[in-house]
Structure 1
């Protein structure tokens, strides 16, 4: 890739503890092993909480907007710093899925105009993504017991992620907890980057 080329952007979204960060770490290691410069965004939920914003089933329109906007800023900074590949841990639509799941969990209905505004903000990023992975919840896989995850909320997020992707007809690849699915996802992510590097 030349210095004037746009970086390849690979995004992942899905409910918590479904292997998103682990998948991106594996992709990053492979790419760095081939000499590519890689930038990885992430930890938006933790950073939102540190800023005093609610998260998980307490997610609000404000925290959703903060996460989307911060994610856009992180991606922009990665591009400005000259990364050849940008790995996006939690694509912009992920925040919408958490917002909708939180509202459903609390038996609340989001204001239509507010939801449309947030969707419009999230939608600005998807045309920039070269590849989108959506992890699929496997309820039989153990989760980190140090986190107080509500299983019903976790399922709601998984449902909203895949429903949003289907409704917006966003091309994506589903990644399951199966090791073969994970390995295939890494290969799908890495090989085009290496071909571009040879051009």
Structure 2
């Protein structure tokens, strides 16, 4: 019997906008329906251990590392067999995400990298970025408080949000905007469940 096609769902957006929580909820819903799922994540923490520049200090090299590592994680997740063949891979930070962070960092520093260097991470993200069956992009809500332990630069967070949605529009990629409104989040989860329960029979 031919296995069902692998479904890839990615999320991207500025920091502390609910990406990981959203993916956890989708994962729980899928598991509750008996659909084998694998979720990737923690790229930011791992980048800090390399160590590599983060956030507004992102460079071409750090961006390439994040994109390449994220792609490798997704490939590895799809190959897991602990609970049977994986039918859904949830990418907590789709490969386009690192490119949006990089563009935001360049604007924040007002120091754009040479064009030839800027094109390298774009080519890498583009090679994989069109394989997602569903992309979710969170929308920054400045009114929502951020935990005091996070020393975030407000301007940079806003730039990441802008570049996230600008990039997806530039690439002509269909995606679902997810705001902080619970109804918007529920709709995003419903999009994912509808896709997975239609394409991935249990």
**Short-chain TM bin:** over 0.9
Which one of the candidate residues 121, 129, 133 is aligned to 2:132?
Answer: 129
Shift of residue 6, structure 1, vs aligned partner:
2.9
Q: What corresponds to 2:169 in structure 1?
A: 166
CA deviation vs aligned residue, 1:80-131 (integer Å, no higher than 9, x gap): 2231110001111110111111111111012111111110100111221000
1:57 aligns with 2:60: no
Map of 1:85 onto structure 2: 88
Aligned to 1:35: 34
Question: How many corresponding residue pairs?
Answer: 198
Give the alignment partner of residue 156 of structure 1, picking from 159, 173, 183. 159
Partner of 1:188: 191
CA distance in 1, matches of 2:24, 2:137: 15
Corresponding position of 1:103: 106
Q: Distance in 1 between matches of 2:99 and 2:200?
A: 34
Structure 1 residues 37-72: Cα deviation after superposition (integer angstroms, max 9, x where no partner)? 111011111101111111011111110000000011
Is 1:198 equivalent to 2:197 in the alignment? no
Aligned counterpart, 1:24: 23
Is the Cα contact below 8 Å between 2:4 and 2:200 reproduced in 1? no
Question: 1:159 offset after TM fit, Å?
Answer: 0.7
In the alignment, what sits opposite 1:112? 115
Deviation at 1:3, TM superposition (A): 6.2
Distance 1:158 1:198 in 2: 35
> When the two structures are superposed, what TM-score results if normalisation uses the length of structure 1?
0.96
Can you give the 5+ residue segments of structure 1 that lack an aligned partner in the other structure? none
Give the whole-Å Cα distance in 1 for the aligned partners of 2:112 and 2:41.
Answer: 28
Displacement after TM superposition at 1:197 (Å): 3.4
Task: Tell me the distance in 2 between the aligned counterparts of 1:94 and 1:196.
Answer: 25
Deviation at 1:35, TM superposition (A): 0.7
Aligned to 2:200, the other structure's residue is in SS state helix
Partners of 1:64 and 1:113 in 2: CA distance: 14
